[in-house]
Structure 1
């Protein structure tokens, strides 16, 4: 949960997945003062007085970071140890000695065998003007919790269910209004006026703000508006009523790691008709737009996804703005594919459940 709080505080932050080659890095935050470097946040779950074993883990993380600095070329800015524990005076004194003690041990380690140049690079990093090596404890974590209340609410107090309920209520507004109109004998334009909707939508919008990964945009229009690419937009859905009016949900990523924290899986099975197999190969080889009947299952945030056994899928040409790409894979199975597999691609996918429900999804990949 601490990492998600950090993502909300620093939307450009990047998660480093745990591995032997993570060099003691949990979260990287691009430095505001030195854009060529990234500050490192090392997260520990320790919440009581540190044991010798826990102190050893912290020192090991710092040591691995120094190795990454000189042997992996990681452009390290400042280093922060984050955990829900404020230091005692004794613990703070121990922490302040970590850089010198760890570096001294590294320099004397014959197995590590640092070169003269590597030792100079480590010392240059440590002694750089304004270098920050800091313990961010319980008060720091509490500050993030207070600022981004929806993170613990979502994970610990049922916030995810409230979001799904709010989405469902908004989607039912038009249906309810139309059904009521059909039961009255006197002509009227609507039983729900904009003024009456305003307060209701305001309450529902507050509930939608409780998603720690995504922001939601909601519009009610007399006709379905076009679904276009926007900064941060990862998906959109439209539900069209019988009179043509439309509820549109747009889903935006709160931070760069949103789709890694909460992936949006989509499973497709193309149902090729005559000539469709060749069109599919043209898309697969050359990126030409492709439309095909398909069955699919889409798991969008807020319960906005769905499943269809008789829908239509359109895949657009590739995106041009490479700086906005995000990692998202899609699973395919069906004729024209070599069995079932994961094919990452760089496209906009438009899926239609039926005449009344549309979904738009960015499916993108790092290159």
Structure 2
């Protein structure tokens, strides 16, 4: 076991090294900066149940005095206060006092007593010298880097050298004696990769070699990639540098200086570069437009480097765990005109402090980009951009869902305001901002889909958005008239040459034949819209001036028959909901 002389090391250095140990043990741990007010939190690790374990790191390496005990009790009290705060995001399930000192029996009793005195609602542990030295043994490279441990690793270096020599020997094997195949490299190459990852406490490396330069892609934990090889010739060797834990770049910064060649940059290049600095957006710089100096670990640093530079988006965190309400209100009222839900993706942050995140609504029709620029007073200015997919993407969506996004787009125009709020909660009024652009209008399509949605609801049949550009005029009119009738209005129908109706034969016999009459009769229509069918409830259709003629068409029911209603000049035809019981198919 590695033993460190903790009592003679500076307090700040002790706490930093232990924090790095914990970060290596828990790569996703979040370290709270004390200067920002830790509120009893130090190194926190989120658990599967969304609670947190807090490692409270102290530098104490000798028998505790009364002042140190007060500090421990104060830290625990702060953590309890934060845990009990209903507005806090931190639900603690375990508080772990972590320091290079094993407790005595009396100190364990005192530790339990302060938990009782403070009515501590979560579990507490004391992890002392044995635990800390165990981490030092597990991560000796951390000790070497931060404390300058002089312990020699000569034996390991000799082994590493032997592995490199084996690789060189394999590469130089005469082809006449045997053929070198990839399988021959498996063991020595794996040992070499293991060797280059042994000693760096903050970063780890992977190696990629081949006749072609690999494409630059974003990978989890990737900090930088550098490819070495002769252009257009190869072979190429690429080293990928990965952070071992969340705070690696805090503990071992990677200074980067990029010198731009302004004369070689286009206006688009300059705008993309500014976005990268402000908001952490991805950017690509072409050869000749820059040189760079970067201090990478493992001897991979570059001075006056040239080539192609790709900076990927730096994921920060999701700005909202669930969908966000996007609400449009009037210029002076908080009455909702239209709203949708937007699911935001991970946010990025630029070195200038700006934050950017993209989102998409539930239909996939609208994508959003929100940029937050910090102000000196700690607030942010928001800039929202929306992009719309081609309207054909609406085809096949449920009508009610399509209407929601169309109404939102229709209301997104100067004069109205855009505000935000958590799902199912009131909008945040301070977030409201005047809309500066007009997103467009689809008034005719909204009107048609509103009518179709009414027909769908009244008929109890689901409706999806048809390809409205392929609908006939009669289909449009059929939906409009059906919606008017179902809403309680009267619809005027177009006059056709004739209407054929099936009635009871007893009713047919009572009808006057050959002379103009006015007739009102119940009927049930089947409305067809593209491939969708809607059976409407019984309605009344009235003819102001028609003649009635017999029909040669026969009914499968012997008690029923067909007649022809032939409108005369000046005939008006209307349709409305019946007054009285539905389902009565007898003539008035």
* TM-score, length-scaled by structure 1: 0.66
Say whether 1:140 aligns with 2:131.
yes
Name which of structure 1's ranges 132-141 and 142-151 shifts more when overlaid on structure 2. Answer: 142-151
Residue 31 of structure 1 contacts residue 77 of structure 1 at CA under 8 Å; is this kept in 2? no
Q: Offset at 1:76? A: 2.0
Q: Deviations over 1:343-366 (max 9, x none)?
A: 77889xxxxxxxxxxxxxxxxxxx
Structure 2 CA distance for aligned equivalents of residues 277 and 5 of structure 1: 46
Q: 1:272 to 1:201 in 2, by over 3 A?
A: same
Higher strand content, 1 or 2: 2
Partner of 2:337: none
Q: Offset at 1:42? A: 0.5
Listed as ranges, the gaps of 5+ residues in structure 1 are 104-122, 331-341, 348-366
The answer to which structure, 1 or 2, has the higher relative contact order (CA under 8 A, 6+ apart) is: 1
2:70 to 41, 56, 60: 56
Higher helix content, 1 or 2: 1
Partner of 1:44: 58
Partner of 2:92: 76
Partner of 1:5: 21
1:150 to 134, 141, 159: 141
Residue 270 of structure 1 contacts residue 294 of structure 1 at CA under 8 Å; is this kept in 2? yes
Partner of 1:254: 244
Partner of 1:291: 285
Residue 316 of structure 2 contacts residue 348 of structure 2 at CA under 8 Å; is this kept in 1? no
Residue 264 of structure 1 contacts residue 328 of structure 1 at CA under 8 Å; is this kept in 2? no
Listed as ranges, the gaps of 5+ residues in structure 2 are 1-16, 319-344, 358-379, 381-588
Residue 235 of structure 1 contacts residue 250 of structure 1 at CA under 8 Å; is this kept in 2? yes
Kindly name which structure, 1 or 2, has the bigger radius of gyration based on alpha carbons: 2
After superposition, residues 1-367 of structure 1 pair within 5 angstroms as: 1-19=17-35, 21-32=37-48, 34-35=49-50, 37-71=51-85, 73=88, 74-101=90-117, 103=118, 123=119, 126-127=120-121, 131-155=122-146, 156-157=148-149, 195=184, 199=188, 202-203=191-192, 205-241=194-230, 243-273=233-263, 276-277=266-267, 279-281=269-271, 283-284=273-274, 289-291=283-285, 293-308=289-304, 311-315=306-310, 318=313, 342=352
Q: Offset at 1:321? A: 9.2
Q: Deviations over 1:201-251 (max 9, x none)?
A: 624632422222222111332332223222222211111158511221111
Residue 259 of structure 1 contacts residue 327 of structure 1 at CA under 8 Å; is this kept in 2? no
Q: CA RMSD in A?
A: 4.2
Structure 2 CA distance for aligned equivalents of residues 314 and 85 of structure 1: 48
Q: Offset at 1:327? A: 8.1
Structure 2 CA distance for aligned equivalents of residues 285 and 253 of structure 1: 24
* TM-score, length-scaled by structure 2: 0.43
Structure 2 CA distance for aligned equivalents of residues 199 and 60 of structure 1: 54
